[in-house]
Structure 1
Amino acid sequence: MLKSENQPGNEVKGRPKADNSAMKVFSEAIKYLKNHLLKSLREKIPAIKDTDIHWVITVPAIWDDGAKQFMRKAGNEAGIPDNQLDLALEPEAAAIFCKAISVKTDGSCFEPGTQFILVDLGGKMSLHSFSFKMMMYFTMKKTML
């Protein structure tokens, strides 16, 4: 799990005399991905502006508020303003993707009352059950194993 920004142990070994703080490494990685996406989009949609995009960074569900705040700050330092940035829990993002992929593959979608289970096998295994209440809203029940 990610430690708070100012705790010892947040240095990343690398080049001598480089800023190897975890914040620098994370913010530079996010900045690279952001700039790469913007460049690709501008090749297809030249008029697109930075303000046309709302960014979502996914984080593990088990992260505490300090670790989530660290990721938000890394996004800010990468040039993403707070009003264009949200954090999403990875299981929720995966559930939304499952809903979207079913629409693309067979034309059906989750109807209200549909239930499914998402198994997160990364790190600690966890089970998440979802129940769709309305077309764009779902509730989540989580069981940690």
Structure 2
Amino acid sequence: MAEKIFTGVKKSIPYLIMLLVGLYLAILLTALILALAEYKLQITDHFTAILKQVSLRPVHYYMLYLTQKQPPLIIISIVTVLYTLYFGLKRQSKSKEWKTANTDTHGSATWGNVKDLLTQYFTINSKDLSTQFNKSLKQETLKKLQAKGEEK
């Protein structure tokens, strides 16, 4: 039981990291949008200070923007959570598709050996192959091709 929990936690770590990075970027983007709304054309003067302030205290600003009910933060956070859930569920369903029996095969494929290859795939010799090839061609088509080749 503990092993299953540990495995589940271990598999969910990349998605947790992806979620945290997405929420961090949501905070930065919200701060930039709010700064643009406040400073308008003077945004370049305050850009570095705003990014430094927000990036050093992300939890504080996330809670601040959340209590202020800032639409950019709410929208970006919801999109980030939904994307992470979608990505995690899609990844999980793909891994289930590839589960097979305890063999080294997928579906009905089997690994062949040299004897199988020689008996099944290399039964025709080169003379028989050229004879069958010539029989499969229409002789008049072959003659027309040869005539065109001689004209050049």
TM bucket (normalised to shorter chain) is under 0.3
Of structures 1 and 2, the larger Rg is shown by 2
Identify the structure with the greater helix proportion: 2
TM-score (norm 1): 0.25
TM-score (norm 2): 0.24
Identify the structure with the greater strand proportion: 1
